[in-house]
Amino acid sequence: MFNRIRPKWVLGLSVVLVTALALAACSNGDDTVTTSSSSSTSPSAAQQPDAPAAAQAATGDTSSPSSPVSADAPAAPKGGSGPAMANISKVGRVIVAFPGPSTEGNDSNFDFSSPPSVQLRPMYEYLVGVNAVTGVFEPQLATAWNIEPDGLGIRYKLREGVQFHNGWGEFTARDVAHVLWSISRKDGLHGLRGTFSRDVKEIQIINDHEVVFILNGANQTVFNGIAQLIGGMEVQSKAMYDAEGQPTLADKPIVGTGAYRFQKRAQGSFIRFELNPVEHWRLSPDFPELELRWSSEASTRLAALLAGEVHLTTIIPDQEPQAKEKGIKIAKGNVPGFRTFFNFQGSWWNKHGDPDSGRKFPDSPLLDQKVRQALSKAIDRDALNTAFFAGEADAMFNNHLHPTRLGWDPSWETRFPAQYGYDPAAAKSLLAEAGYNSSNPLETNLHSIQLSTYAGSLDLIEAVQGFYREIGVKANLLVMDAATRGKLGRSHEFENHISLVSTASDIFLAGRVYMTSSHPSSGNYQDAEMNKIRLVGANTLVASKQDAAFKELGERAFSLNASIPLYWLPIKMAYNPDVVSDYVFSGNISGSWTHLFNIIAAK
């Protein structure tokens, strides 16, 4: 439990937070993927991949492209709109408003990946889905999947009889091969292009309803990327692509198999879907139409919600009392995934990823564990939680590890107060042991960053600067544009810097990007032993081995004070109960706003 003592200056800070779309880094690659046919038979005694309820994100942010233009008036409710209509809703079109995607496009497997893929997700499905309540994998367009006996292949049995929208035919293995090709193209912008082009050797089409992904090495991230978890590999029609070519924003998206199909887009303003008139094989959404409306300002979104112009939207915590007084309800994601923390920059090696090359900045104070521990113990997490997250953030006891995820060790919670908990006196003692005092104060740098994933990060960083001042640390606020900061981070030019980060990445991606020196590390503590441990967990598809490796990795990170853990953050959606009775979504998938077919109509 976090310490409850709070400096008075923190309590006066405004409560500002938008738990919006999550982002994380992804690597690039240059190899393409080949497609082949095979007469192979199904393997025996294979193992099903098993992964935790976790999220993984690709590149992107949440800035809105432009101000919305006027949308068409909602259609009247259509009680007889087709067999997919399970309930009669009070409105014909449910409208969801949130900050617009950083990029708009009509091919989520080429133009972008998650989070921007939220704009097209309602019309697509995946081979493997994620349960909206539990966050675990479940069959979707694949009825079963198995690991090949050699551990270097994932075999999928495909569902038969599933039809693409608008008469583009039945879903088959050829569509799976097409999507893999589309993501892996050298000129593509998908965040997992490097992973698939590098780690998937080929895809074998066994027959119309069976495929095998042949891997260059066992890699759970490939499976997660094929599944809904990461928000990549939305299944599209090869037949439509072959007939009409690469879609632009002036065209229609390549059709999918979801319960909703594309209806209309106004660039920079909204995208609209309608129920497919053909009965869907698994879904019966309540609303005939679904509109995603882009709106960058939280105050504008709340006003639209209260006026009945939109029916669901994201708001900030200090708006919640006003919204609730007006009768607005709040839906929360069911599974933890989104989180925020501080990373240490300055422990790079001279040759990236090579401990034998020596430290690039051997005199960086952040190489001293006593310093890292002191900087963590100086922070009153309870005070920040109250001031910035309305007290609703959950404690993080080990960065990226959670009781619902692989690798969890319950002892971290009981050991957290001594290792990380708020204790200014202990922080000062640690600094003294490291050689710092009033005549020789520790000096470091805090990046002043407005994260796209939640508002108020600038104020939170200044609050942390205040905590550091109280223990005698001079923390300079460093302001620079995002492009420059990213370039310097990737080239490892930051010697003594601390950076605020947010992500919803699962442990496999988080382990690579935020816990080791694997490419594209741009800001975290580097440790040779952690590199080795992560590879053990990443290079197996056996759940028990993954669990053991990530527990060991977590213990190493915990004992080294490799980062400054802050919070797991709730993913929320406010809704008008006159129109919507509930919205059930997992909240652990990159992009957060998934399962939009689970918006339940008020009766």
User: Looking at the domain assignment, is residue 8 inside a domain?
Assistant: no
Spatial separation of the C-alpha atoms in residues 181 and 190, rounded to whole Å: 12
Sign of the Cα torsion 218, 256, 171, 182 reads negative
Spatial separation of the C-alpha atoms in residues 103 and 268, rounded to whole Å: 9
CB 337 within 8 A of CB 134: no
Q: 456 versus 397: which is more confidently predicted?
A: 397
Report DSSP state, residue 117: G
Q: Indicate the residue type of 12.
A: G
Spatial separation of the C-alpha atoms in residues 298 and 191, rounded to whole Å: 28
Spatial separation of the C-alpha atoms in residues 369 and 580, rounded to whole Å: 51
Residues 220 and 279 in one domain: yes
Residues 408 and 537 in one domain: yes
Residues 582 and 525 in one domain: no
Residues 269 and 226 in one domain: yes
Strands 354-359 and 443-447: unpaired
CA distances from 434 to 134, 367, 441 (A): 45, 11, 11
Q: 255 versus 482: which is more confidently predicted?
A: 255
User: Looking at the domain assignment, is residue 296 inside a domain?
Assistant: yes
Q: Indicate the residue type of 417.
A: P
Q: 80 versus 271: which is more confidently predicted?
A: 271
> Mean per-residue pLDDT for 542-562?
96
Backbone angles phi, psi at 196, to 5 degrees: -70, -40
Residues 233 and 86 in one domain: yes
Instruction: Say yes or no to pLDDT of 20 above 50.
Output: no
Among 234-243, 306-315, 387-396, 463-472, the minimum mean pLDDT is found in 387-396
Spatial separation of the C-alpha atoms in residues 238 and 171, rounded to whole Å: 9
pLDDT of residue 516: 86
Per-residue pLDDT tens for 467-508?
999 999 999 999 998 889 888 988 899 999 999 998 888 888
User: Looking at the domain assignment, is residue 328 inside a domain?
Assistant: yes
The backbone region for 387, taken as left when phi is positive above 0, alpha when psi lies in -120 to 50, beta otherwise, is: alpha
* Residue % of the chain over a pLDDT of 70: 84
pLDDT of residue 519: 63
Q: Helices 507-514 & 528-538, crossing angle to 10 degrees?
A: 150
E strand or H helix at 273:
strand 270-275
Q: Please state the pTM of the whole predicted model.
A: 0.74
577: number of Cβ within 10 Å = 12
Q: Indicate the residue type of 33.
A: V
pLDDT of residue 359: 95
Buried residues in 423-455 as b, exposed as e (16+ CB within 10 A): bbebbbebbeebebeeeeebebbbbbbebbbbb
CA distances from 208 to 145, 177, 236, 365, 492 (A): 15, 11, 15, 59, 48
| Number of structural domains found in the chain | 2
Q: Indicate the residue type of 254.
A: I
Which CATH number fits the domain that encloses residue 277? Answer: 3.40.190.10
Residues 323 and 437 in one domain: no
User: Looking at the domain assignment, is residue 16 inside a domain?
Assistant: no
User: Looking at the domain assignment, is residue 185 inside a domain?
Assistant: yes
User: Looking at the domain assignment, is residue 181 inside a domain?
Assistant: yes
Per-residue pLDDT tens for 162-184?
999 999 999 999 999 999 999 99
Q: Helices 381-389 & 457-470, crossing angle to 10 degrees?
A: 150
Spatial separation of the C-alpha atoms in residues 258 and 247, rounded to whole Å: 19
User: Looking at the domain assignment, is residue 22 inside a domain?
Assistant: no
Nearest to 63 by CA among 237, 236, 295, 221: 295
User: Looking at the domain assignment, is residue 313 inside a domain?
Assistant: yes
Backbone angles phi, psi at 438, to 5 degrees: -65, -30
Which CATH number fits the domain that encloses residue 483? Answer: 3.10.105.10
> Mean per-residue pLDDT for 99-112?
81
CB 20 within 8 A of CB 452: yes
Spatial separation of the C-alpha atoms in residues 456 and 452, rounded to whole Å: 10
Q: 199 versus 317: which is more confidently predicted?
A: 199
Residues 321 and 356 in one domain: no
Instruction: Say yes or no to pLDDT of 382 above 80.
Output: yes
Residues 321 and 451 in one domain: no
Q: Residue 514: helix, strand or coil by DSSP?
A: helix
Residues 176 and 102 in one domain: yes
Residues 262 and 388 in one domain: no
Per-residue pLDDT tens for 422-433?
999 999 999 999
Q: Helices 528-538 & 543-560, crossing angle to 10 degrees?
A: 160
- What is the average pLDDT score of the chain? 84
Residue 114 sits at the vertex; the CA angle it makes with 409 and 563, to the nearest 5 degrees, is 35
Residues 320 and 425 in one domain: no
Domain residues for the domain of 346 are: 339-568
Maximum Cα interatomic distance, the chain, rounded to a whole number of Å:
79
Among 59-68, 167-176, 284-293, the minimum mean pLDDT is found in 59-68
Instruction: Say yes or no to pLDDT of 6 above 90.
Output: no
Per-residue pLDDT tens for 435-455?
999 999 999 999 998 876 676
Residues 104 and 125 in one domain: yes
